[in-house]
Structure 1
Amino acid sequence: MELRWEAGNIIDKRVHEIGVIALGSFLENHGSVLPIDTDAKIASYIALKVSIITGAKFLGVVLPSTEYPYVKHGVHNKPEEVVDYLRFILSWSRRLGIKKILIVNCHGGNVLISRYLGDLEREFNMRIVMKNITFIHAGTEEVSVGSVIGIGREDKIEDHHPSKYPEIGMVGLKEARESNKLIDRDAKVVEKYGVKIDRKLGEEILKRSIEECIGCIRELIN
């Protein structure tokens, strides 16, 4: 049987050699507005949208996630466990003719797996690119994106405050703030400006994120 490589809405028939994987987190608190699997849902939304627009193959979402040991707002795994799950996906992807991978990551702690990607590239003879799209945890950007894609509870925004939910902006996570200057910087932003839902901002972030990921696909094609 001969497959019709040029059928359907694709930007180039070579896009069939490219797979898109969503990477986030399934078990971490995000205040009162967003669910505990916010990062996984945002990553999956963007990855699937990019797959639909370009024709690249959506390979699904990675189930484990990892985090810095001093960030304690959820349940996470070792970096090696995330890599092992990726190894499973990549093994099957090769059977589909995939030669290049775009990982859409929407959970900051997952950047810890970056040092393993070169090993995976050599093991599977693949090109692997990880695009990190992260926000201040449960802050204005993230609740705005969550509202736009339909996972947020706008009626709970008044209750969405770090005095009640210390993980918002990681304001109340003392160890994390003391261990990481960037986390402390973001926490100070939330302390100063608070958190609000701005759907226009959410739409702009999604549009930009999707466009940047499409740009990654085009670079992988060429």
Structure 2
Amino acid sequence: MQLRLNSGNILNKNVHEVGIIALGSFLENHGSILPIDTDAKIASYISLNVAILTGAKFLGVVLPSTEYDYVKHGIHNKPEEVIEYLKYIINEGKKLGVKKFLIINCHGGNTLISNLLNDLENQYSVRIILKNITFTHAATEELSVGSVIGIADEAENRLKEHDFNKYPEIGMVGLKEAREQNKYIDEEAKFVEKHGVKIDRGLGEKILKKAISECVEIVKELSNDKK
């Protein structure tokens, strides 16, 4: 049987060698407006849209996630556990003809796996690109994106309740250890303290458009890469 690799709205038949993996977090507090699995849902939304626009294979979402030990706003795994899950997806993806993998990550803590990906590439003889798309935690950017994709509870009482004085994870304002250990987290927290948090759908649409566009360009490069 001959597979019809040229059928459908795709970049080219080589795009079938590209697989897209969503990476986020499933158990992480996000104040009163966003769900506990916000990062996983945003990553999946972007990944699926990129797959639809290019014809690349959407291989699903990674279940475990990891985090810096000083950031305490959810339940996470060790970096090695994330890698083990990726091994399964990559191995099964190769059976589908996938040789190049784009991991779209929307959880800051998952950047801890970056140094482990080279070994994974060598072990499976594949190419892996990790694209990090992250936001100040549960603050304006993330709320705005959540609003656009439909996961934000925008009831008036929820909006009033979404305050970093009540929920320390918002902007990580109340996570003292994280702010002490990481100057970037502290800078973002100070910004949230000064400017507050709001929902701006225009901003959310702009962020999503940019993220999807950048990932589409990566898929184009991968599909044209003969290596």
1:191 corresponds, among 188, 193, 210, to 193
**1:151 aligns to what?**
151
Deviations along 1:14-62, one digit per CA (max 9) or x if unpaired, are 0000000000000000000000000000000000000000000000000
Task: Specify the code of the residue in structure 1 equivalent to 2:160.
Answer: E
**1:169 aligns to what?**
171
Is the contact between residue 157 and residue 197 of structure 1 (CA under 8 Å) also seen in structure 2?
Answer: no
Question: Shift of the alpha carbon at 1:90?
Answer: 0.5
**1:98 aligns to what?**
98
* Matched ranges for 1:85-124 at <5 A: 85-124=85-124
Question: Shift of the alpha carbon at 1:190?
Answer: 0.4
* Matched ranges for 1:8-157 at <5 A: 8-155=8-155, 156-157=158-159
Give the 3-state SS of the residue equivalent to 1:154 in structure 2: coil
CA distance in structure 2 between the aligned counterparts of 1:213 and 1:8, rounded to whole angstroms: 20
CA distance in structure 2 between the aligned counterparts of 1:132 and 1:184, rounded to whole angstroms: 20
Task: Specify the code of the residue in structure 2 equivalent to 1:55.
Answer: G
Deviations along 1:131-187, one digit per CA (max 9) or x if unpaired, are 000000001000000000000011212111100000000000000000000000000
Give the 3-state SS of the residue equivalent to 1:216 in structure 2: helix
CA distance in structure 2 between the aligned counterparts of 1:171 and 1:154, rounded to whole angstroms: 22
CA distance in structure 2 between the aligned counterparts of 1:90 and 1:65, rounded to whole angstroms: 17
CA distance in structure 1 between the aligned counterparts of 2:170 and 2:51, rounded to whole angstroms: 31
Give the 3-state SS of the residue equivalent to 1:165 in structure 2: coil
**RMSD over equivalenced CA pairs, Å:** 0.5
**1:214 aligns to what?**
216
Question: Shift of the alpha carbon at 1:114?
Answer: 0.3
Task: Specify the code of the residue in structure 2 equivalent to 1:165.
Answer: Y
CA distance in structure 1 between the aligned counterparts of 2:74 and 2:16, rounded to whole angstroms: 36
Give the 3-state SS of the residue equivalent to 2:6 in structure 1: coil
Question: Shift of the alpha carbon at 1:67?
Answer: 0.1
Task: Specify the code of the residue in structure 1 equivalent to 2:25.
Answer: S
Question: Shift of the alpha carbon at 1:112?
Answer: 0.2
CA distance in structure 2 between the aligned counterparts of 1:124 and 1:149, rounded to whole angstroms: 34
Task: Specify the code of the residue in structure 2 equivalent to 1:206.
Answer: L
Query: Normalising by structure 2, what TM-score?
Result: 0.97
Give the 3-state SS of the residue equivalent to 1:44 in structure 2: helix
